[in-house]
Amino acid sequence: MAKGRIRAKIRRSGLYTFCVRPQEKHAQEETSLPEGPGFSRIVHCNQPDVHRRKPYRYRANNISTTKYNVLTFIPKGLFEQFRRAANIYFLLAAILSVTSVSPFGSVSMIAPLAIVVGLTMAKEGVEDWRRFMQDMEINNRKVTVHKGDGVFEQFVWQEVVVGDVVKVHKDEFFPADLLLLSSSYEDGICYVETMNLDGETNLKIKRAQEVTLPLDDDAAFKDFQGMIKCEDPNPSLYTFVGNLEYDRQVYPIDPTQVLLRDSKLRNTTYVYGVVIFTGHDSKVMQNATESPSKRSRIEKKMDQIIYILFSVLVLISLISSVGFSIMTKNELPNWWYLRAPDPQGLYDPNNPILSGLFHLVTALILYGYLIPISLYVSIEFVKFLQAYFIDNDINMYHEESGTPARARTSNLNEELGQVDTILSDKTGTLTCNQMDFLKCSIAGVAYGTRPSEVELAAVKQMAAELEGKDPDIPSAGQKSEVELETVITAKDEKDHKHAVKFFGFEDARLLNGNWFKEPNLEVLLLYFRILAVCQSAIPELNEATGLYSYEAESPDENAFLAAAREFGFEFIKRTQSAVIIRERYPNYSEPVEREYKILTLLEFTSKRKRMSVIVRDEDGQILLLCKGADSIIFDRLAKHGKTYLEATTSHLNEYGENGLRTLALAYKKLEEAEYNAWNNEFQKAKSSIGSDRDANLERLSELMEKDLTLVGATAIEDKLQEGVPGCIDKLAQAGLKLWVLTGDKMETAINIGFSCSLLRQGMKQICISTAQMEESANDSKEKWLLYTDQAIKENVLLQITNGSQMIKFEKDPNAAFALIIDGKGLTYALEDDMKFQFLSLAVECASVICCRVSPKQKALVTRLVKEGTGRTTLAIGDGANDVGMIQEADIGVGISGCEGMQAVMASDFAVAQFRFLERLLLVHGHWCYKRIAHMICYFFYKNIVFGLTLFYFEILAAFSGQTIYDDWYSLSFNVVLTSLPVISLGVFEQDVSSDFPALYQQGPRNLFFDWTRILGWMGNGLYTSLVVFFLTIAIFDSHAFRPSGQVADMYVMGTIMFTCIIWAVNCQITLTMSHFTWIQHVLVWGSIAMWYVFITIYGALPLDISGNVYQQFVEILAPATIYWTTTVLVTVLCVGPYFIHMAIQRALNPLDHHIIQEIKYYRKDVEDQTMWHREQSKARTKTKVGFSARVEAKMRQLKTRIQKKQSGSTFPSPASLKS
């Protein structure tokens, strides 16, 4: 990629030298466009054809992310293949097999290599084809392009050329980087969603140049001409340098006039734009980085095993060649029948060292079976099928968006089963970024009866727990009551779900004008008006429904406006200086439209944490309406404005506990004079230029926003994605740690922490932040001192140490800690000298939430966790801001389904929703891990068995390099005869099929691929090889083996031995498996049957091919009883130890999955439900987060209450259940 870019640059700068310079000079006179390479692009607007020709030849708008094309596929693909060390070894072996040094025929060496390389390349080809199809889908999207004469027509994206004028409609993506000319709005603005670029969901405003505003209909482009001179393609999303020459004038272009490819037009009916950068030149494509190739832990360990086996290979080859040299020197002169030396010097007693060296090569090839070439291809194939299952899992299919899960790379499947820490983005991943107005507190009265998701989940869980866990405590009546409660709430939810977007409020006291009957009418009115007026949104009338929807900066505002509308205060219009509210009073039949003059608007910033408007209502009264974070508002209340403070505070706490986002609303009445005096100063400050302008404005706002009167508070539910709390709970039960990394504010992040049960009341929060320090610094005289970097850093360190101390001295074993750190604190915490302290604190905490983190910090945190703990990390996110994290983590998961593709493109797996992570990890990950682990162990086992028998025979054949097996046996051993069962193990094995989160820990703890297990399998291989070889030898040595007196020759012996190996390894794999569908049966028993079919057919082939085994099975072996009895004896002896090991393990030291298998086997789950539930709940890892933990705390509470009440036979009321 980088190379290509450099080359492109050179090419374009060359272009510049030849033809562009004169014009550039001319332009230079009037503008300040930087000169030189990097700023050479020229676009002739509306003259697309010009750019097709020299000297421009800009890249077309089609994109290609494929690795190969038709021509380069073979050479490049082959090159990629032979970059693998193992393949080089096999290639060398294949080349040498043509010489006389080789112990095998050349076909048997070349054929498997060709198959392996061929298959892998075919896989590459298929994957590349998919990428190609994906590219084609994008390239063939439609866009309206100016064809000439003011006529626009639909074209596909790839036909768009630089200089084209395109018209993009609402909710369409921009096909290329465009210069905005005009929009459906008169002032040429348009709203753009840049989620694909930076992950931000809020809309950005782009503004066209005034000079191009008249170009606002199709016909206007008939004679449109202009020239753009600008920078060369580059990846910087936020800068743009260029000029537009139009009507003999030069206008500078700034980034707000540039619409970037892959961002989306929103809220604007259409825009016109000129194409500046196309295809790979566009900023987003320039930003694309190739995702780093990742390898799973198992695969890395497999490499180590291969090194071990390679050492064994070299060792036995050396033994073999030394033995050969000694034999050659000392014995060969006496072995007259060999007629040594031979002319080639392969058997030269006079030069045994040279012969030994030749033999070394022979031996290296001969024992190559220890490192099976087929291992790679089998693993590739298995992973491909595993990925197929992931892709096709209907449980991970998202119905609404129509997105299935995708395993974008198949080589990390088993890594999914070893994840220790999940790092998750928040917005778009955990939450849908949709806020619902759920509850409110007005004048100290709490309204809103709908439970939040957290409450709901807790109630449900509690009901389930009551049922399953303690069958003795709740009587039948209690149970049914709990059930009833659950049913009611569930039904409730179904009925009202999505009735009104952004509005989940439910309370008869306020809705349908009933609020009029409430006391404190005055305050209610004020409350609704604050909701409706104190905002910065734009209303938009949906003509079909007659309803207004709002385009707001933040989704919270949307919720407020929706709420205001539902309460009867509908915001319908915003003018430059006023907002118009249509107010509906129950006692009037007609709504009243009221205009509120906006005098001043004090904007919301994350620092201020509040927003205010100063308005004059129709009565001429000046009001300051304010909404903001509760702590901020509470600090600014007037003495007489605290009437409702106490009640509101308690409501706010409750809301917070239920996972809702809260804001407080307040107002103050202003006198005309008071306002004017302030406004004068404010206007002055506003128009001043200088370094203290901001500070001045800040001070003035501060002056105005005080002495407020509290009206009430809002509680908004940041809608979690479906099933998020449940999924987090399951993941926590599986022992996974979840870190949330979000760009949001600390408060928001904490709220979300609550709503998805990562945080709960009673959890000790360790907040590390620089904010409180800055605040305190404000009051301090030594402000300058505290502000130094060093001081802040020390402070952060202090906070970290304090946190660690706190955990260290905690006595309560059930205590849980949560670490919340903000971006700035993180900057220091991530520095080299502090990061490990930070990490060790974070690891101790049950939940970690990092807020206000930049995309880069996300990646850094991920790296810290990955490298610091040495555990497997998984990063999940949906936006471009998560790309760094996704690429950095061991496994990157992208949220697909929503429109953003950046994260998905960088990811290894794509799921539509966070909740699918549960199935992806706990089911697929767990299975894949076990499958691959078993498969690799078994693979080495079977090849050790085979390879070592070759070595033993060597010793008995004077180290001469002769094999006892026919070449074709050896060849088909890995390819045909034993490959299918092991593939079925790798694809279909399941230990238990139900969801048992606790079993997942077997992966992170790596129970199935640790060295004891690997060495155990190797030992088993050694044992089996010894049994097979020496037992066969012992039985068939010299005696006749048939009633007709014949003895076994070398080839007969080889076939017998091979039969034993086939039986032994296939029986071994059946013992390894615990799940037999018909496929396994067919493949395992079929492989054994295949062997007999194979030797029958092979023996029947013409002598040229079958040679020494001609008719061997049919004529010689099959009639010999001893052949069959030997097979049985050897097989039983080979698998015996493993069987005994299994029986002992089950009897004395069973693993978790063994017990679950037993329960299933005895159908206890069906017969004894109580017991099954008990086991199920026991099968969870004790967890400190997730709602299970939360419920557990409540359960204790509840139980005591029930016990108390039981004598009086009063049941817990639903209210107490929920509280």
Shortest CB 1039 distance to another protein, Å: 4
Confirm or deny that 698 is annotated as ligand binding. Answer: no
Q: Exposed, middle or buried by CB within 10 Å (0-12, 13-18, 19+), for 921?
A: buried
- In the complex with another protein, the residue whose CB is nearer, 26 or 142, is 142
Q: β-strand 165-169 against 270-277: which pairing, if any? A: antiparallel
Quick one: 792 or 1052, whose CB is closer to another protein?
1052
Query: At its nearest, how many Å lie between another protein and the CB of residue 577?
Result: 24
Nearest to 369 by CA among 316, 300, 418, 439: 316
Distances (CA, A) of 913 to 721, 756, 1088: 7, 15, 44
Asked if residue 891 lies in contact with residue 872, where contact means CB atoms within 8 angstroms, the answer is yes
- The verdict on whether residue 822 carries a ligand-binding annotation is no
Identify whether the C-beta of residue 447 lies closer than 8 Å to the C-beta of residue 716.
no
Q: Which of residues 33-92 bind another protein (CB under 8 A)?
A: none
- Tell me the CA distances in angstroms from 855 to 282, 732, 768, 860, one per residue in order: 21, 25, 19, 9
Cβ closest to another protein, residue 309 vs residue 346: 346
Q: Is 863 exposed, middle or buried, given 0-12, 13-18 or 19+ CB atoms closer than 10 A?
A: middle
- Restricted to residues 402-461, the positions that interact with another protein (CB under 8 A) are 402-404
Calpha distance 583→571 (Å, rounded): 9
Q: Which of residues 988 and 1211 has its CB atom nearest to another protein in the complex?
A: 988
1207 contacts another protein (rule: CB under 8 A): no
Residues within window 1141-1160 making contact with another protein, judged by CB under 8 A = 1142-1143, 1146-1152, 1154-1155, 1157-1160
Please identify, using beta-carbon distances, which residue of 601 and 1007 lies nearer to another protein: 1007
Q: Which of 162, 260, 306, 340 binds another protein (CB under 8 A)?
A: 340
Indicate the residue among 131 and 170 with the shorter CB distance to another protein. 170
Gap between the Cα atoms of 1063 and 420, Å rounded: 39
What's the rounded Cα separation, in Å, for the pair 353 and 1076?
A: 53
Q: Does 957 bind another protein (CB under 8 A)?
A: yes
User: By CB under 8 A, is residue 1107 in contact with another protein?
Assistant: yes
* Neighbour-count burial of 184, counting CB atoms closer than 10 A to its CB (0-12 exposed, 13-18 middle, 19+ buried): middle
Q: Which of 262, 393, 415, 485 binds another protein (CB under 8 A)?
A: 393
Q: In terms of CB distance, is 743 or 961 closer to another protein?
A: 961
CB of 984 to another protein, least distance (A): 12
Among 17, 334, 449, 1216, indicate the residue that binds another protein (CB under 8 A).
Answer: 334
Site track for another protein across 138-157, x = CB under 8 A? ----x-x---------x---
Within 787-826, the residues that bind another protein by CB under 8 A are none
> Counting contacts by CB under 8 A, is residue 1164 touching another protein?
yes
CB of 907 to another protein, least distance (A): 18
User: Nearest-5° angle of CA 479, CA 1181, CA 1012?
Assistant: 150
983-1012 positions binding another protein, by CB under 8 A? 988, 990, 993, 998
Beta-bridge mates of residue 872 = 419
- Catalytic one of 164, 216, 393, 425: 425
For residue 115, give the DSSP letter: H
Q: Which of 7, 25, 130, 169 binds another protein (CB under 8 A)?
A: 169
Torsion angle of the four alpha carbons 826, 827, 831, 837, in this order, in degrees rounded to the nearest 10: -20
Q: Which among 574, 576, 564 is positioned nearest to 538, based on CA atoms?
A: 574
- Binding to another protein, residues 238-277 (CB under 8 A): 269-270
427 labelled ligand-binding? yes
Contact 879, 872 (CB under 8 A): no
Strands, E assignment, 66-132: none
| Nearer to another protein (CB atom), residue 302 or residue 332 | 332
Q: Indicate which single residue of 31, 351, 962, 1127 sits in contact with another protein (rule: CB under 8 A).
A: 962
Cα–Cα distance for residue pair 156/170, rounded to 1 Å: 17
Show the binding pattern over residues 1013-1052: x = contacts another protein (CB under 8 A), - = does not: ------------------x-xxxxxxxxxxxxxxxxxxxx
* 348 labelled ligand-binding: no
> Rounded to whole angstroms, how far apart are CA atoms 551 and 1099?
80
**Residue 650 touching another protein (CB under 8 A):** no
Our finding on whether 960 is near another protein (CB under 8 A) is: yes
Binder among 389, 516, 952, 1092 for another protein (CB under 8 A): 389
Q: How far is CA 312 from CA 302, 597, 944, 947, in A?
A: 15, 87, 10, 11
Beta bridge partners of residue 421, listed in sequence order: 737, 873
Q: Counting contacts by CB under 8 A, is residue 952 touching another protein?
A: no
CA atoms in the 13 A half-sphere facing the CB of 569: 22
User: Residue from 335, 516, 678, 1092 that binds another protein (CB under 8 A)?
Assistant: 335
Nearer to another protein, 1154 or 1173 (CB): 1154
Q: How far is the CB of 965 from another protein (least distance, A)?
A: 11
| Cis peptide bond prior to 22, omega within 30° of 0 | no
Site for another protein in 1086-1105 (CB under 8 A): 1103-1104
**E strand or H helix at 259, and its extent?**
strand 258-259
- Asked whether position 956 contacts another protein by CB under 8 A, the answer is yes
Nearest to 918 by CA among 457, 395, 410: 395
Beta carbon nearer to another protein, 863 or 1164: 1164
Antiparallel, parallel or unpaired: β 661-670 and 622-628? antiparallel
**Whole-number minimum distance, CB 956 to another protein, in Å?**
6
- Residue 742 labelled as part of a binding site: yes
Residue 1115 binds another protein (CB under 8 A): yes
Q: Say whether residue 1126 binds another protein (CB under 8 A).
A: yes
Closer to another protein by Cβ: residue 302 or 1027: 1027
Give the span between the Cα atoms of 830 and 859, in whole angstroms. Answer: 11
User: Applying CB under 8 A, which part among 193-201, 588-596, 778-786, 1135-1143 lies near another protein?
Assistant: 1135-1143
Strands, E assignment, 104-150: 142-148
Is 425 a residue of the active site? yes
- In whole angstroms, what is the distance from residue 1062 CA to residue 1058 CA? 6
Quick check: 27 binds another protein (CB under 8 A)? no
List the one residue from 422, 1179, 1191, 1195 that touches another protein (CB under 8 A): 1179
State which residue, 113 or 265, has the beta carbon closest to another protein. Answer: 265
Helices 746-755 and 453-469: angle between axes, nearest 10 degrees: 30
Say whether residue 349 binds another protein (CB under 8 A): no
- Nearest alpha carbon to residue 972 among 848, 1090, 849, 1128: 1090
Q: Do 889 and 906 touch, CB atoms closer than 8 A?
A: no
Ligand-binding annotation for 420, yes or no, is no
The reply to whether 918 sits in an annotated binding site is no
Q: Which stretch binds another protein (CB under 8 A): 31-39, 564-572, 1078-1086, 1193-1201?
A: 1078-1086
Span 171-200, contacts to another protein by CB under 8 A: 171, 184
Question: Which residues, at least 6 apart from 1154, have a Cβ–Cβ distance to it below 8 Å?
Answer: 1145, 1146
Is 627 marked as a binding-site residue?
yes
852 is in an annotated binding site: yes
Q: Is 881 among the annotated ligand-binding positions?
A: yes
> Site size for another protein, by CB under 8 A?
116
* Beta-sheet pairing, 151-156 with 142-148: antiparallel
Binding-site residue numbers for Mg(2+) are: 425, 427, 878, 882
Binding-site residue numbers for ATP are: 425-427, 557, 604, 627, 661, 742-744, 852, 858, 881-882
Q: Which residues are catalytic?
A: 425
Binding-site residue numbers are: 425-427, 557, 604, 627, 661, 742-744, 852, 858, 878, 881-882
